[in-house]
Structure 1
């Protein structure tokens, strides 16, 4: 650490907030986290009923190298904190108009053979596609993900300049066209295109650069933390508290406080600086938490437009009016009596007309797609702790427009009519496509969540389930920066800012804040202690 320890307040106890707090406390700072909800975790939450335990948010463990690197910065390893299981198959895909599903396996060579079997000759294209994805991924990690773009070195590195024409083409072209130029079969195109949804976008809206995502599942594999994704939250809380971080739940931030600073010369005007955070205490009172630095790790729209006065907003409402949200979601948590072997741990259901599906979500006037492509998670396939014996735990996600007006969910069918209707359609579609005709009759626990719940529970902009979409003008250095231009000492972490959406990106965003606080303008990941590297074997 350079300089004296700072008093730091982190707003938001989700994955990004906890990770940021742990890294800053590791540097010797005095860190306090204030979280509005009763439990930390944010989107990576948990809900239990009648012996079922549901992860309420993230369910795919991808980019294991990012987790390994993050834990390494704290002097530990992923294996020491979390028991990961590699899924094989990684996931199953059902396609409208095809009776046969396709399983994506944990072995790259097996997946290559699968592509060749579905479309003769596609194995060669598969090799070339993944080679390009691997190259793009390595370049992204070394140059674009772990940088705040506050140094020309991010753009002028020898590897960046050598690949400039190729990078330009990947940024300007769309993912769907990149895939279509190499594969003919619709099923293969959809398998390669669906990761765009992880980015809050669609294959025809996401830059072709994101073909790198296919490396993660087709070659690197999919993992699952035994006990569920709350194991990650537990690890972050444990590591943060071991370093002295104070985590206060049921304590929403109500304002970021600032103070004026005297300019160093009459000709120079200095920005206001953070002085603290006003919070509402569990008892209903108000408290001022002093701070030299504030990290807004909650939804960036909420932090900027609700916690700061208009004149101090770097991203005011007019900025958000021009921005593109990722999709909203209807979530359905189901406890099901008896086995459902037709589904894997992860199952994807793809409609034939993707263009119409995604246009319904992103183009105005928006509407809930019918039928809607959707995702089903069955963690009970891997983890016996999430459901009673002889029962299954199912989580269904239906991408919908980011529109709180669609309504809220509820327990046992008590949600708003459109949300419950969407859930009914999803259950019926899964039952029909997967061949489980009595699925609805076997449901013993049911809860739904709608876009309005994301606003209430997470202060989510527009009711989005993920955050701002990864379109060209909302990616890399064009995404909302993680530092206020109006207030000194105010930084941002999480999916709304750089580098973007997803658990790995939230961990990287924490490291980027650490760099800001340190005044570190380096490009690429920070070094991990040698002792940890040798212990982890990486």
Structure 2
């Protein structure tokens, strides 16, 4: 039977759910508090530069293909994809670089160059990662997290030990080169936790990286959002911006309405793709599932200090994606997870889409996106932002052997306070709740409220976890739960 469904937020999970629910004949309406769509994947343009505000790594292309195929479409119906070669480069102390090419053969050669039998070791590691990817995508991530039995399949039973070891242990056991170890531990940071806290099974992210490659949607990552909005509207979804939700109204333990900009609007079902913790604050206390103590105990993915920068010249010695691992990886991780504070010497990441996609900057210019991962909930001031900007730009100039600061013609920063202000993000986290052993699958906050009928959740704080592909899957999973009820 057709339902009227309100969806809070317009990120990947919300848009995915909207498409599935509308396809099934429901009346679907999205409410986005900001003036543009996409949630963390918003875009802005300034002085001829185009900046993606959030996600910039297009990994796991098969998940995007599967999403669009559910509607008889392909990604290429909406946007053009380029496979990057190299996918990214890693810059170490002294400016030494390692490029991760666009094929396993190229990457095997790099590993052999860095370490005796490096290719042989990597092949064994990647073969296991490929098996895990297959199991994860086919058996696990498309499950709604309602029961521990979802994790029990003939294939997962053979992998049981990998849920009790860690990525860190596996990498340390196999490889000697510190550089290669850092490269292999890097992909799990997308899952929001230290490699030493991430179950070995999640090494499938290494297959996503090396085996499936890194891609770029022409025009920027927001083109994926634009595609999903176009699809949603074609299915009849109504979209509202500047629509702030003040309250979720509950009668007889059933969600019945939203208060939007002071106006009460009635719906059969309410789905929130906004921050889970924030969504529960829109309910009276007695209707909330999780206490403040519960949220405070959880391991959250990092927040970020971001800089969007326009340069009036082309830069040298950089690639589309660049990881600056010239300082201690473990010390920075401690400053995020163990004793949360601003890092003394931060690792950082920078991308320049204009290198491979000239449409994102004026001719002869470069657009830069710089990211420093930091602990959620720490102090955020303009002074600290300025201090860290100087730190990373000084290192950037030294490591890439060029002067760039005097060539900056546009700069904007975004940090903890902005994540809270723009996305109602718990403690200003950027990626949601980490995928540690005790925060996996059925141990994550539920897609369906346990206390309020017809109230559902989707996104990076619930199942299956942080990242863009999991957000697409989360939208599908919650739409299936809604259809069952």
For 1:152 and 1:357, locate their aligned partners in 2 and report how far apart those are by CA, in whole Å. 34
Say which of 279, 290, 296 aligns to 2:260.
279
Partner of 1:382: 356
Check if 1:424 corresponds to 2:384. Answer: no
| Aligned-partner SS, 1:10 | strand
Task: Give me the TM-score of the superposition, normalised by structure 2.
Answer: 0.97
Question: What displacement does 1:211 show?
Answer: 1.0
Partner of 1:56: 53
Question: What displacement does 1:152 show?
Answer: 7.0
| Aligned-partner SS, 1:57 | coil
Asked whether the 8 Å contact 1:175–1:211 carries over to 2, the reply is: yes
For 2:433 and 2:154, locate their aligned partners in 1 and report how far apart those are by CA, in whole Å. 31
Asked whether the 8 Å contact 1:404–1:455 carries over to 2, the reply is: no
Task: Output one character per residue of 1:341-371: Cα deviation in whole Å (capped at 9) or x when no partner.
Answer: 311000001144222111111123x222121
Question: What displacement does 1:303 show?
Answer: 0.4
| Aligned-partner SS, 1:405 | coil
Check if 1:123 corresponds to 2:119. Answer: yes
Task: Output one character per residue of 1:127-150: Cα deviation in whole Å (capped at 9) or x when no partner.
Answer: 010000011111111221000134
For 2:222 and 2:191, locate their aligned partners in 1 and report how far apart those are by CA, in whole Å. 22
Check if 1:355 corresponds to 2:321. Answer: no
Partner of 1:476: 441
Partner of 2:374: 400
Asked whether the 8 Å contact 1:330–1:423 carries over to 2, the reply is: no
Asked whether the 8 Å contact 2:145–2:463 carries over to 1, the reply is: no
| Aligned-partner SS, 1:406 | coil
Say which of 147, 154, 158 aligns to 1:158.
154
Greater than 4 Å deviation, 4+ residue runs: none
Asked whether the 8 Å contact 1:43–1:57 carries over to 2, the reply is: yes
Asked whether the 8 Å contact 1:94–1:100 carries over to 2, the reply is: yes
For 1:78 and 1:292, locate their aligned partners in 2 and report how far apart those are by CA, in whole Å. 32
For 2:378 and 2:328, locate their aligned partners in 1 and report how far apart those are by CA, in whole Å. 26
Say which of 282, 294, 297 aligns to 1:307.
282
Question: What displacement does 1:154 show?
Answer: 2.2
For 2:142 and 2:119, locate their aligned partners in 1 and report how far apart those are by CA, in whole Å. 33
Asked whether the 8 Å contact 2:31–2:244 carries over to 1, the reply is: yes
Asked whether the 8 Å contact 1:420–1:448 carries over to 2, the reply is: no
Check if 1:502 corresponds to 2:478. Answer: no
For 1:395 and 1:157, locate their aligned partners in 2 and report how far apart those are by CA, in whole Å. 42
Question: What displacement does 1:404 show?
Answer: 5.1
Residue segments in structure 2 that go unaligned for 5+ positions in a row: none
Asked whether the 8 Å contact 2:88–2:321 carries over to 1, the reply is: yes
Aligned pairs (5 A) from 1:143-292: 143-150=139-146, 154-161=150-157, 163=158, 166-167=159-160, 169-260=161-252, 272-280=253-261, 286-292=262-268
Check if 1:298 corresponds to 2:274. Answer: yes
Aligned pairs (5 A) from 1:314-329: 314-329=289-304
RMSD, aligned α-carbons: 1.4
Asked whether the 8 Å contact 1:10–1:294 carries over to 2, the reply is: yes
Query: Using a 3 Å threshold, how does the CA distance of structure 1 residues 417 and 392 change in structure 2: closer, same or farther?
Result: same
Asked whether the 8 Å contact 2:145–2:444 carries over to 1, the reply is: no
For 2:174 and 2:365, locate their aligned partners in 1 and report how far apart those are by CA, in whole Å. 42
Task: Give me the TM-score of the superposition, normalised by structure 1.
Answer: 0.88
User: After the TM superposition, which of the residue ranges 327-336 and 311-320 deviates more from structure 2?
Assistant: 311-320
For 1:49 and 1:150, locate their aligned partners in 2 and report how far apart those are by CA, in whole Å. 45
Partner of 1:336: 311
Aligned pairs (5 A) from 1:70-85: 70-85=67-82
Question: What displacement does 1:309 show?
Answer: 1.2
Task: Output one character per residue of 1:249-273: Cα deviation in whole Å (capped at 9) or x when no partner.
Answer: 000111111111xxxxxxxxxxx11
Check if 1:91 corresponds to 2:88. Answer: yes
Task: Output one character per residue of 1:303-349: Cα deviation in whole Å (capped at 9) or x when no partner.
Answer: 01x21111111122121011111111110111112111311000001
Say which of 383, 394, 399 aligns to 1:433.
399
Query: Using a 3 Å threshold, how does the CA distance of structure 1 residues 152 and 180 change in structure 2: closer, same or farther?
Result: closer
Say which of 466, 473, 476 aligns to 2:431.
466
Question: What displacement does 1:432 show?
Answer: 1.1
Aligned pairs (5 A) from 1:513-524: 513-519=478-484
Question: What displacement does 1:231 show?
Answer: 0.7
Q: Which has the larger radius of gyration?
A: 1
Check if 1:36 corresponds to 2:33. Answer: yes
Partner of 1:65: 62
Question: What displacement does 1:157 show?
Answer: 2.5
For 2:153 and 2:458, locate their aligned partners in 1 and report how far apart those are by CA, in whole Å. 26
Asked whether the 8 Å contact 2:90–2:99 carries over to 1, the reply is: yes
Partner of 1:265: none
Asked whether the 8 Å contact 2:323–2:349 carries over to 1, the reply is: yes
